[in-house]
Structure 1
Amino acid sequence: MATDPPANLKKLAHIHLGVDGGAERFLVRLSGALARKGVDQIAFIRKDRPWRDELAQHCEVRELKFSRSHLKRHFVRWGISRQIRAFGATATLGWMSPASKWLPRPGPSMRTFLRLGDWPDGFHTYGNVEDLIGNTPEIVRQAVEMGWPEARAHVISNFVDPLPAEPGPVSRADHDTPENATVLIHLGRFVERKRFDLAIRTVARLPGHVHAWLIGDGDLLDDMKALAKAEGVESRVHFLGWQRDPAPFLKAADILLCPTDAEPLGNIVLEGWNAGLPVVATASPGPSWLIDDGKNGLLSPCGDAEALAASIGRVLGSQELRSTLARGGQAKLSEHYSEAGVVAAYDKLLGGPART
């Protein structure tokens, strides 16, 4: 039986200051996949993160208080650097721009990388960053346009874990949803660019059997509840809170909705394909890069509730289209966003020789 070749990368340090979201879930997935290839890892994170125990299953975890004080920051960074070098890491991977200020200085025995899952907002804290990794071409393009060296910018996208058999789908009755309803599902933080407001306005333009499950939390949650009431769809729009494991909800839904305006990637598109759902999205940068319109999803103009409702109507009216989009999404996920391919790309880049 053929076996995977051993990893080029031997020891990797992660620095991640996030709370709970897509980047955090991907850290857990990537570190697990690298561990299965034999990569020894250590992670520096904030205290009391809800995903800490999952990460600790395959990565040594050290919880720190990342001080905002300019003076204390130097001591914290020095402490992280000392621990990374004592661990023997040959590469350090920072996750998102806030991690850049904590990266140790690179050298002949240890390289430094910063992974971006969002648009770059300047490089003033990137002094110890050797290479950038963007999870879409658009992120890398913007970084290069802003002055980052093109030779030190790389595109490596995400992968998602196969849906486990257990737990099974959630009960619709437990969430006040009729069994015969068509359920749209949208996941993310309740912030402006995720356009939960557009999802609600779209439901208001669809037949009464269409319900929406909105999964997440954030500053705009109360505003969205008020909007659902104002639009007359509060009985059909269900706010299900932040879910550590959204898989049982995806299994019970019918259509994945991605109505965002400024989405760099759209990890929820991958989640929808993974669950075998047809995906209906707006044409923000990430979904436009992922989706081949009509083959593995439908795209409509950003911010246009009428057009988004029309796309959903097409799916509701054609079982053949629904099946085509679902099959096409799973095929593209398998071909371009597999764990094996993404992990191999990280291993090749992070395990490569030091810059001279």
Structure 2
Amino acid sequence: MVTDTQMQPKKLAHIHLGVDGGAERFFVRLTGALARRGVEQIAFIRKDRPWRDDLARHCDVREMTFSRSHLKRHVIRWDIARQIKAFGARSTMGWMSPASKWMPKPGPNMRTFLRLGDWPDGFHTYGNVEDLIGNTPEIIRQAIEMGWPAERAHVISNFVDPLPADLKPVDRADYNTPEDATVLIHLGRFVERKRFDLAIQTVAGLPETVHAWLIGDGELMSDMKALASNLGVQDRVHFLGWQRDPSPFLKAADILLCPTDEEPLGNVVLEGWTAGLPVVATASPGPSWLIDHGKTGLLSPCGDVDGLVGSIAEVIRSSKLRESLVRGATEEILKRWSEDSICQKYLSTLFEPRK
């Protein structure tokens, strides 16, 4: 029997204050996938986001100035709530804890969710949030341990788009990389927990035919360049800056490296799998959840340079292992991390009646 609630149009409002990174790529990706499934959406974002036009292809974008002034904050929150009500949203989803400050109050016809892609940092601004969505079990486990009600917490992970069949890889020569080199690729912000230092130390422990592409930007960039120079691998470690679309670089690389310490998910693991790369990672919470060691990737203890060196050497040495890891990862993507399976979970969670 079809209920009145199920017959209502699926309308969703988003509040996203992010700048540019993996979380923002997934935000744009998810809104597009939901639009293809008939969900009408609006999004409140900061002005001048580099992904604004991509988002606007399938979502009504409302650019806002989010003031820190106590008085202005109340006015802006009221304005957002007014626009969401006029839109007729059945659900509002905030992205990460900063968005919780701007969430409208839930009502009889509108539910509120906060989507977390990182560890919870306390609930002092969560007053208008009814339910949490975390993209890993560990995020939700920590939230429940901190006091969030288990019945109002959900795990829904990410998906990544398949690479276009006609996607051309970047030319290695453009990045001073020999055509016959083994290229490791590591992506993320240059902050401590991403452990770009481990990636550089790993290259130093491998033959001179191994190069690394480090994609990203951040406060530790100059420190990492100095480390590469001190270890004598400055000619084999290439700092490629932030790339809006890393896909052509992934397609030109050989091994995805994820050496992070405190990675809630590790979206780069999914991106590496989708690009057909074997994945070598440290056993931080997200990669440990995603990767079945020896079947879909190789894991070593966090901070263990020798472990990473050994895993990469093993992949380089054994084409059979490399092919097996890629095959296992491809099967895993199709089974658990496809667009359709993730979107179905979002649809049933966001638009199901309150219990």
Please say whether Structure 1 and Structure 2 have the same fold, judged by a TM-score greater than 0.5. Answer: yes
Distance in structure 2 (CA, Å) of the matches to 1:141 and 1:123? 15
Counterpart position of 2:189: 189
Counterpart position of 1:3: none
Shift of 1:166: 3.7
Deviations 1:279-326 (A, max 9, x none): 000000000000000001000010111111011011011000000011
Distance in structure 1 (CA, Å) of the matches to 2:56 and 2:156? 24
Q: Do 1:183 and 1:210's aligned partners in 2 also have CA atoms closer than 8 Å? A: yes
Could you list the runs of 5+ residues in structure 2 that have no partner in the other structure? 1-5
Distance in structure 1 (CA, Å) of the matches to 2:9 and 2:267? 26
**Structure 1 counterpart SS, 2:54:** helix
**Which amino acid in structure 2 is aligned with residue 145 of structure 1?**
E
Shift of 1:9: 6.3
Counterpart position of 1:306: 306
CA RMSD of aligned residues (A): 1.1
**Which amino acid in structure 2 is aligned with residue 69 of structure 1?**
S
Distance in structure 2 (CA, Å) of the matches to 1:140 and 1:261? 19
**Which amino acid in structure 2 is aligned with residue 352 of structure 1?**
E
Shift of 1:354: 3.5
Structure 1 outlier segments of 4+, above 3 Å: 6-9
Distance in structure 1 (CA, Å) of the matches to 2:347 and 2:108? 18
Distance in structure 2 (CA, Å) of the matches to 1:256 and 1:71? 47
Matched, 1:223 2:241: no
**Structure 2 counterpart SS, 1:158:** coil
Deviations 1:97-121 (A, max 9, x none): 0000100000111000000000000
Distance in structure 1 (CA, Å) of the matches to 2:19 and 2:325? 33
Distance in structure 2 (CA, Å) of the matches to 1:226 and 1:61? 42
Q: Do 1:8 and 1:348's aligned partners in 2 also have CA atoms closer than 8 Å? A: no
Shift of 1:22: 1.1
Counterpart position of 1:38: 38
Deviations 1:153-189 (A, max 9, x none): 0000000001013431000000000000000000000
**Structure 1 counterpart SS, 2:85:** helix
**Which amino acid in structure 2 is aligned with residue 128 of structure 1?**
N
Distance in structure 1 (CA, Å) of the matches to 2:112 and 2:173? 49
Matched, 1:288 2:288: yes
Could you list the runs of 5+ residues in structure 1 that have no partner in the other structure? 1-5
Structure-to-structure mapping, 1:198-217, within 5 angstroms:
198-217=198-217
Shift of 1:353: 1.1
Using a 3 Å threshold, how does the CA distance of structure 1 residues 21 and 128 change in structure 2: closer, same or farther? Answer: same
Structure-to-structure mapping, 1:163-174, within 5 angstroms:
163-174=163-174
TM-score between both structures, scaled by the size of structure 1:
0.97
Counterpart position of 1:47: 47
TM-score between both structures, scaled by the size of structure 2:
0.97
Matched, 1:249 2:260: no
**Which amino acid in structure 2 is aligned with residue 321 of structure 1?**
L
Distance in structure 2 (CA, Å) of the matches to 1:268 and 1:166? 21
Distance in structure 2 (CA, Å) of the matches to 1:165 and 1:47? 34
Counterpart position of 2:3: none
Using a 3 Å threshold, how does the CA distance of structure 1 residues 272 and 7 change in structure 2: closer, same or farther? Answer: farther
Percent identity (aligned): 75
Distance in structure 2 (CA, Å) of the matches to 1:320 and 1:167? 26
Distance in structure 2 (CA, Å) of the matches to 1:8 and 1:27? 24
Shift of 1:273: 0.4
Distance in structure 2 (CA, Å) of the matches to 1:52 and 1:177? 33
**Structure 2 counterpart SS, 1:161:** coil
Deviations 1:196-220 (A, max 9, x none): 0000000000000000000001111
Counterpart position of 2:27: 27
Structure-to-structure mapping, 1:309-320, within 5 angstroms:
309-320=309-320
**Which amino acid in structure 2 is aligned with residue 310 of structure 1?**
G
**Structure 2 counterpart SS, 1:108:** coil
Using a 3 Å threshold, how does the CA distance of structure 1 residues 278 and 9 change in structure 2: closer, same or farther? Answer: farther
Shift of 1:69: 1.0
Distance in structure 2 (CA, Å) of the matches to 1:228 and 1:238? 9
Distance in structure 1 (CA, Å) of the matches to 2:231 and 2:314? 23
Task: Figure out how many residues of one structure are paired with residues of the other and give that number.
Answer: 350
Distance in structure 2 (CA, Å) of the matches to 1:211 and 1:8? 54
Shift of 1:147: 0.2
Structure with the larger RCO, 1 or 2 (CA within 8 Å, 6+ apart): 1
